[in-house]
Structure 1
Amino acid sequence: MSYPDRFYPIVDSLSWLIRLTELGAGTVQLRVKGLELAQATALVREALDVTEGTATKLVVNDYWQAALDAGAAHVHLGQEDLAEADIPAIRNAGLTIGLSTHNEAELDVALALRPNYIALGPIYATTVKTMRFGPQGLAPLAQWKKRIGTIPLVAIGGITLERAPDVYAAGADSIAVVTDITGSPDPDTRVAAWLDYTSASA
């Protein structure tokens, strides 16, 4: 699977994006909250400069208009973003779209939009942000995968490298990782371990 990669880190700064790009991460999502459109567009342009000419694919979280204006190739939207997002414009510009889901109703919405991947979470308890939904556990991954078929399924929420084998076995095609990287005492070694594992298990 070329997109998203099996290891899919999510970070909140250019410095983390630079670090992951240099380490060889194939897909990285930049998730920075609270920006005005001009700020977001400038940030996306800087991020694209970082990844240009590398193997890293930049995914822009939420700021779909900034992604369009800056010439990005990939966006990720939450369910709350769909009310304002111009999906036809995003598609006409050739961008891929990833969508978050947390329950069956949200999955129905996502499937109707035919996204390039669907994310399910949180699989385990997470401290990254306040969630409207409790931990899903592994069981829904198999159910989601059966429903979405060939659409890549991204698991997110409290997933560590040690938990990864069970998450992949349950049906995930990709794992989005935040704290296991950004909270690690040795992020570079942790990223290398993820890349080694996902490359060997592909």
Structure 2
Amino acid sequence: MSLPRFYPIFDSADWIARMLALGVKLVQLRIKDRPLPELRAEIRRARDLCRAAGAILVVNDHWQLAIEEGCDWLHLGQEDLDTADLGAIRAAGLKLGLSTHDEAELTRALALHPDYIALGPVWPTILKQMKWHQQGVEKLTEWKARIGGVPLIAIGGLRVDRAQQAFAAGADVVSAVTDITLAPDPEARVRDWLRVTA
């Protein structure tokens, strides 16, 4: 299965609406710490926006809502895996992406036959405090050799000028968060991303 090569992550349907207008075809909605009704409304709106645009929406973490709202894709971190009902997720037909940071997590992820595997942070990231420091592009090459045909997502510290380095090392898809949301002109930055990942 091939995915679009650019995978931005946003924390609201408003952001997603702005970026779909530019031609983004794969996007993650990652919302933390919001009341359930707000979460449901955001997921529902993002789902409808993506369907109308012919884009793939990946819901981060909130697997029950993703099932209830008829979404197609889910992303789980390793902590999320501890509590998620994988049987229910698979029974609902959701495609599943998983985060990995080390060998043990990769082994665990591969046993679940995910639809993509993410490795990060490839470069240092300001997004969140992590016990893992930068993994380096060499680990992308190592991971790709291990996972074969499963799409590999590079995340963490990605910038437009690093995209080709990530692809050359084995990434199938590059993901960005703060490089877009903190840019002075997020739309211009996304156009740059779309150009280098076309």
Give the TM-score, by structure 2 length.
Answer: 0.96
- TM-fit CA distance, 1:52: 2.5
Between the aligned partners of 1:39 and 1:148, the Cα distance in structure 2 is: 36
Q: Which position in structure 1 is the counterpart of 2:173?
A: 174
Q: For residue 196 of structure 1, what is the amino acid of its counterpart?
A: R
Contact 2:2 2:151 in 1 (8 A): no
Q: Assess, with a 3 A threshold, how the Cα gap between structure 1 residues 192 and 56 changes in structure 2: closer, same or farther.
A: same
Aligned identity (percent) is 53
Contact 1:25 1:55 in 2 (8 A): no
Between the aligned partners of 2:72 and 2:93, the Cα distance in structure 1 is: 7
Contact 1:23 1:188 in 2 (8 A): yes
What SS class does the counterpart of residue 135 from structure 2 fall into? coil
Q: Assess, with a 3 A threshold, how the Cα gap between structure 1 residues 36 and 87 changes in structure 2: closer, same or farther.
A: farther
Cα deviation, 1:73-132, whole Å, max 9, x if unaligned, reads 000000000111111211111111000000000000000000000000001110111112
Give the TM-score, by structure 1 length.
Answer: 0.94
Between the aligned partners of 1:197 and 1:191, the Cα distance in structure 2 is: 10
Between the aligned partners of 2:106 and 2:56, the Cα distance in structure 1 is: 25
Cα deviation, 1:14-33, whole Å, max 9, x if unaligned, reads 21111111111010001110
Q: How is 1:139-154 mapped onto 2 (pairs within 5 angstroms)?
A: 139-154=138-153
- TM-fit CA distance, 1:36: 4.4
Q: Which position in structure 2 is the counterpart of 1:184?
A: 183
Between the aligned partners of 1:35 and 1:84, the Cα distance in structure 2 is: 19
Q: How is 1:92-103 mapped onto 2 (pairs within 5 angstroms)?
A: 92-103=91-102
Cα deviation, 1:40-60, whole Å, max 9, x if unaligned, reads 223211211222221221110
Q: For residue 102 of structure 2, what is the amino acid of its counterpart?
A: N
Contact 2:13 2:43 in 1 (8 A): no
Q: How is 1:38-57 mapped onto 2 (pairs within 5 angstroms)?
A: 38-57=37-56
Contact 1:30 1:60 in 2 (8 A): yes
Contact 1:37 1:66 in 2 (8 A): no
Q: Which stretch shifts more, 74-83 or 41-50?
A: 41-50
Q: How is 1:111-130 mapped onto 2 (pairs within 5 angstroms)?
A: 111-130=110-129
Contact 2:119 2:153 in 1 (8 A): yes
Q: Which position in structure 2 is the counterpart of 1:25?
A: 24
How many residues are treated as equivalent by the alignment?
198
Contact 2:97 2:117 in 1 (8 A): yes
Contact 1:119 1:156 in 2 (8 A): yes
Q: For residue 55 of structure 1, what is the amino acid of its counterpart?
A: G
What SS class does the counterpart of residue 68 from structure 2 fall into? helix
Q: For residue 182 of structure 1, what is the amino acid of its counterpart?
A: T
- TM-fit CA distance, 1:175: 0.6
Unaligned runs of 5+ in 1: none
Q: For residue 65 of structure 2, what is the amino acid of its counterpart?
A: A
Alignment of 1:68 onto 2:67: yes
Unaligned runs of 5+ in 2: none
Q: Which stretch shifts more, 135-144 or 85-94?
A: 85-94
Contact 1:120 1:155 in 2 (8 A): yes
- CA-based RMSD of the aligned residues comes to 1.2
